[in-house]
Amino acid sequence: MALLRSRSRYGRLIVVAAILLGLYYISSQPALKTSSSSFSISAASMIRCWKPPDYVPRPRSARKIPPDSAHTHEHDIPDPFPLLSRIPPPSLAELNLAGRESKKTHEPETPLLIGFTRNWPQLLQCVVSYLAAGWPAGDIWVVENTGVMHANRDGRLGLQNPFYLSHTQLEMLGVRVVVTPTLFTFAQLQNFYAWTALERNWTEYFWSHQDLLVFSPENSTRPEDTLHARAASILSYLRQPGVPRWANHFFAYDHLTLVRRDAILDVGGWDTHIPYYATDCDMYDRLMWAGYWQGETNIGIILDVASVMDDVGALLRIPGIYAAFQGDPGPENEANQDYPPEEERRRKLIGEHGETWDHLVEIGRRMENVKYADGGGWRNMWQLRQTGGQGEPFYRDPEGFETGLRMMIDTGRSVFAEKWGHRGCDIAEIGLGAEDAWKVERDWDPETEGGGSEGDDW
């Protein structure tokens, strides 16, 4: 035992001596100085320096790309709902939301997740249309997927910033906000929805695109006739015993979708290697191959739009707010337009009682037609409406962000094509199955027909 204690003390002495020698060596080295100042850098800190002290950057030779006039907007984005910006803030009665408070209980619970990345006016219009269609405010969750951390929550971004979102105004409407930890792709966002449902014990949930305008199916004040009531009845039906095993139920595929959480988890979630377009084809086919039923029901009017009303308060039929939007081509049949006296009478009625359901739907349908004019090639340009934000936290060049996004879209399609050996979403129609993933040869020649993201089948 004495011998062991002696060896232990001897070992500790060796370690202490080594440390002292090392410290002496470092302190005895001459300090290194940069060529431009007398600032000293020790040998220890030099190890962590990623550039040599005499580094001189090369003269800038890059040429700037001229701005794309098609993406340049001369005018600022106006406030889409001025009443919400009023001080003091309006009451629920003034917003025509009295009786629809988020505290109202109902069964079944219908959490609706609306993902947001860019274009606050478009999102606010979508949210307000769901409120007008009877969706309880407390069941609407805006998923802020901007990647700006808490900048929006803390009010550090302005309206002209593409990633701006007003937590305050959503809270005024009774709508909830959940913030993603970073900027997700579409596939990652879908997995985040499933994760959120898992964390909150939701067995089912709805999700919606933000570039929508929704209406209840008819001009009725009965609660059972609202778009929300019909969506809830579909959920109640699908919860009954004996219903086929299901994964998704679509309402205007797939602008509004009801999801059964455990079906998504069962097939391993969305494939995040396919970040945007084509990832839905991959997911829905994998669910089908796994034996899940995916149905569709018409529960109301769901329009895919790129325009925003001049004042989205018109959707709540607030007296004095008229439905109109920039770029409105007007009614298709000009001969049937109201004569000035009739138009004056209509505007007087709106001033007293608010917009009519028929006129709102008519305006909404024209907005959808505008989005798909010229074949729909410009249908996603609503994402580039805001071009400001310079100097604000997490600033990203809007056109650069869009360019990077399109590159990721092409990459995702290429991954899909390699995974299934086919370019295009018709992988089930050509006889492929889940077991074929990453195991089939390409059915096209890249040398003569281009890469996986090319071709007419996309």
Question: Judging by beta carbons within 10 Å of its beta carbon (0-12, 13-18, 19+), is residue 308 exposed, middle or buried?
Answer: buried
Over the chain, what is the mean pLDDT?
86
Cα 149 off chain centre by: 15
* Predicted confidence band of residue 86 (pLDDT cuts 50, 70, 90): very high
Instruction: Report the CATH fold assignment for 84-419.
Output: Spore Coat Polysaccharide Biosynthesis Protein SpsA; Chain A (3.90.550)
Residue type, position 148, single letter: V
How far apart CA 171 and CA 169 sit, in angstroms, is 5
With 70 as the cut, is the pLDDT of residue 421 above it? yes
| Reported pTM | 0.83
* Domain residue ranges in the chain: 84-419
Task: Please identify which residue in the block is written with the tokens 């003091």.
Answer: 88
| CB distance 376 to 334 below 8 Å | no
Q: Which residues of 111-147 are buried (b: 16+ CB within 10 A; e: fewer)?
A: bbbbbbbbbbbbbbbbbbbbbbbbbbbbbbbbbbbbb
With 70 as the cut, is the pLDDT of residue 239 above it? yes
Half-sphere exposure of 189 (CA within 13 A, CB side): 25
Residue that wins the pLDDT comparison between 387 and 36: 387
In the prediction, which pLDDT does 51 show? 65
In the prediction, which pLDDT does 348 show? 87
Other beta carbons within 10 Å of 278? 27
* Predicted confidence band of residue 41 (pLDDT cuts 50, 70, 90): very low
Q: Which of 13-17, 45-49, 414-418 has the highest mean pLDDT?
A: 414-418
Residue that wins the pLDDT comparison between 332 and 182: 182
In the prediction, which pLDDT does 248 show? 98
Read off the pLDDT of residues 131-180 as tens digits, 9 standing for 90 and up: 999 999 999 999 999 999 999 999 999 999 999 999 999 999 999 999 99
